Structure 1
Amino acid sequence: MLDSAPRKEFGMLLVRLLAAAKGDGTLNLVTVDGEHHRIGSGPPKLTLRLHDRAVERDLLINPRLRFGEAYMDGRLSIEGGTIYDLLSMLMSGSEVQGALGRAVEALSPILRRAQQYNPMRRSRQNVEHHYNLSREFYELFLDRDMQYSCAYFSEPGMSLDDAQEAKKRHIAAKLLLVPGMRVLDIGCGWGGMALYLARHTGARVTGITLSSEQFEVAKRRAEETGLSDRVTFELRDYREFAGTHPAAFDRIVSVGMFEHVGVPQYRTYFDAVRGMLNEDGVALIHSIGRLKEPGATNPWIRKYIFPGGYSPALSEVLPVIERSGLFTTDLEVLRLHYAETLRHWRSRFDARRDEAKALYDERFCRMWEFYLAGAELSFLLQGHMVFQVQVARNLGAVPLTRDYMVNAERHLAKGSAGIGASVGGVPMLRPAHSPESAN
């Protein structure tokens, strides 16, 4: 057992660590021995209370992993506020690494490739870890269409339902769809995007996913909405699927799946996209990214939420697109839309926390509180964003100006089908491929 002097030293080291991390505000740290340490000036806004000696050691050695674990296990608690309030204070300061964290960060270029190596078997395991939770759980906090990706807040004060509908319109507008076009949805989730495209544009959509839970829900939704003749779903990996569908699609869309690909597989991914598009094909990839240079996935997120996941810098994505033979025809950065989306999810989850606890347990609920709070703040304070990159096999596949997107969104908002190249008379280098005119 440590005597009082080393224990006191642990406390002082923790104070320095938290002082370096903390932004505005004053924090009161209470150690397991009952010692109070004021971090900052002025009256404390929050109190962080540690409940066992091992927490002090864990936070010093590897704070980025152990802080979340200690919160999940109830080994630390927050008084005078919530975990969101505390993370907001800590994440607004400088990034802090413990001794182990610094060593890991120094090796990050090597470790990242190992952590993001996602062959088909591992990819399936990673997806099942997060997405095979029950539909009842996700229904507690998602919108009515079960969109588990960034919404698009095109107007101030939008509800989550309206913003997710706007997201689907925004993406559909960039796909230049006309009735009868063949569309592939890579990582289709619970089927909402595929069903939207079939219902509102007359497209014929195939959705693929690695989640057996999402696959069953998506199939059932297609049957219940009477769209199973135009929308089909398969439990397939994109790499396996690409080998049997050369040049099979007019359009490809992928929303919230690219974060699970991993840098070592980027060339394979974009080669697959190119191979499945026909000559006039267009694809739209919607993904979380980072506004600054390449980094590493937070170790707590990697262990508990998204194993194998990584949010890339654009400098890691665009060169691979170039080498694949695809052209980047449009790129949009959605800066704070995901922060707002997560704010809605966090509020809705909190309102129905007791129901989540009945489905799982207290530790699970604390894990999701930590995840939703930390994720929201990473977009507000730490340079995460969402990007939408449109790619094509040839430069003449999309109009010369972006006006077609605005026109298409207006048509979709009015419920008009068939939003392809003719909308608004926007000039193109050559006509977009139309399956119906070819028959």
Structure 2
Amino acid sequence: MLFHLALRRLVRRGTLTVRYPDGTVRRYGDGNAPMAGMAINTPRALRRLTLNPGLALGEGYMEGEVEPLGCSLFDLLSFLALNIAEGGMHPIEHAREWLRKVTRHLAQINPAGRARRNVAHHYDLNGRLYALFLDRDRQYSCAYFPTGQETLEEAQAAKKRHIAAKLLLDRPGLEVLDIGSGWGGMAITLARDYGAHVTGITLSTEQLEVSRQRAEEAGVADRVRFELMDYRDWTRPVDRVVSVGMFEHVGVTHYAQFFRVVRDALREDGVALIHAIGRMDGPGGTNPWIKRYIFPGAYCPALSEVLPGIERARLWATDIEVLRLHYAQTIAHWRARFAGNRDAIASLYDERFCRMFEYYLVGVELIFRHWGHMVWQVQLSRRQDVVPLTRDYVVEAERAAAARGREVA
């Protein structure tokens, strides 16, 4: 059968045990560790895995038609990710990956109406869901682990300090535009701890409501406001622009437009910081399961796709930093918290939803561990002389902010 032949090609390291729908058990690989197992419970799941494995594996797990055998979901997906990273790939999936790559520009045309629908699909879920696995500040983006030993709360606070340092918030009263402001944590932090006046814009009605409530509770509503707005509708110049975890939803065909908006939003001595997921192995395509069930319209670009838009906007890329395993560690924390609150999450939705989210968290952690995904931060300015000549100021500002935090605590 085709699936059997595909697995023989895929498994180059370790041993994979597969139980087929008719009860047949076959083993693939060299007989050595690592080891994992997979039960394919229905003929339908087997057909789907043969024809479209990138989509069918996640769907099969959600429906209970494909399950780990003698191991955890993490073990199974880690085994498959490791072997794919070493050059093994289902031949049909290889062809589909090529097709996704060459058609990504067409697939990511993202006018305002579609952008709003895509955001609502993921971010307008029941707010309690995110409270059950994120940190207290609901930071839904890569944390920053200076030593690797930080708690999730400590690492998310360090991420905000790291970004604030690159924004050069060197005096109170600076005006900041936060594009894709999430649940408001970054905007509130910049106002409360750095004296900034922040406008956060989002396309999520759920996040907008929560953000406004949090600003009131934090006592910074006079310095922070949140609006339901597409970034393309912003017209007023500000001192600083920050965007964390939003650029993945812009769409590759809109990058030049995005950076023109950033440039036009910056005053002459302004500074911007864009934080987003990317890939180190060049342009590619979005996994079809992620695209259908988690982030419709999303794409994590290579820097080679991002920098031309910056250049065309005539912006200086005054600093570029790549964070490699930080997101893998972040998601490991999210997975543990999700597992610890699984019963509560199932009461909000159902078993299928829990399986979907588990598959999402495991899969995304593994693309950072094995498939070359990373996070990049690009600092931008209109002029080359508004940022210090060396990066020493980043560390100094982070240390000063951490010391102030300890004094307050």
TM-score normalised according to structure 2 size? 0.95
Is 1:255–2:244 an aligned residue pair? yes
- For the Cα contact (< 8 Å) 2:12–2:30, is it kept in 1? no
One of 331, 352, 359 as aligned partner of 1:342? 331
* 1:83 CA displacement: 1.1
Q: Distance in 2 between matches of 1:157 and 1:314?
A: 29
* TM alignment of 1:413-432, pairs within 5 A: 413-415=402-404
- 3-state DSSP of counterpart to 2:404: coil
Query: Corresponding residue for 1:151?
Result: 143
- Flag the 1:185–1:23 CA change in 2: closer, same or farther, 3 A: farther
Return 5+ residue gaps in structure 2 as ranges.
none
- For the Cα contact (< 8 Å) 1:262–1:310, is it kept in 2? yes
What letter is aligned with 1:238?
Answer: Y
Return 5+ residue gaps in structure 1 as ranges.
1-9, 417-439
- For the Cα contact (< 8 Å) 1:60–1:98, is it kept in 2? no
Q: Distance in 2 between matches of 1:183 and 1:41?
A: 56
Q: Distance in 2 between matches of 1:138 and 1:117?
A: 28
Query: Corresponding residue for 1:108?
Result: 100
Stretch of structure 1 that moved more, 110-119 or 15-24: 15-24
What letter is aligned with 1:352?
Answer: N
- Flag the 1:339–1:109 CA change in 2: closer, same or farther, 3 A: closer
One of 206, 215, 236 as aligned partner of 2:208? 215
Q: Distance in 2 between matches of 1:80 and 1:136?
A: 33
Q: Distance in 2 between matches of 1:51 and 1:97?
A: 20
Q: Distance in 1 between matches of 2:196 and 2:292?
A: 38
Query: Corresponding residue for 1:309?
Result: 298
- 3-state DSSP of counterpart to 2:240: strand
Q: Distance in 1 between matches of 2:53 and 2:180?
A: 33
Is 1:196–2:196 an aligned residue pair? no
* TM alignment of 1:19-418, pairs within 5 A: 19-22=8-11, 24-42=13-31, 45-94=35-84, 95-99=88-92, 101-177=93-169, 178-240=171-233, 242=234, 244-245=235-236, 248-415=237-404
* 1:31 CA displacement: 0.7
- Flag the 1:105–1:26 CA change in 2: closer, same or farther, 3 A: closer
- 3-state DSSP of counterpart to 2:38: strand
Q: Which consecutive segments of 4 or more residues in structure 1 shift more than 4 A?
A: none
- Flag the 1:325–1:165 CA change in 2: closer, same or farther, 3 A: same
What is the aligned-residue RMSD (CA, Å)? 1.4
- For the Cα contact (< 8 Å) 1:62–1:98, is it kept in 2? no
| Alignment coverage as a number of residue pairs | 400
Q: How high is the sequence identity, in percent, across the aligned residues?
A: 56
* 1:98 CA displacement: 4.7
Show CA shifts across 1:57-83 (max 9, x none). 111111001111011110111122111
* 1:148 CA displacement: 0.2
Q: Distance in 2 between matches of 1:75 and 1:384?
A: 29
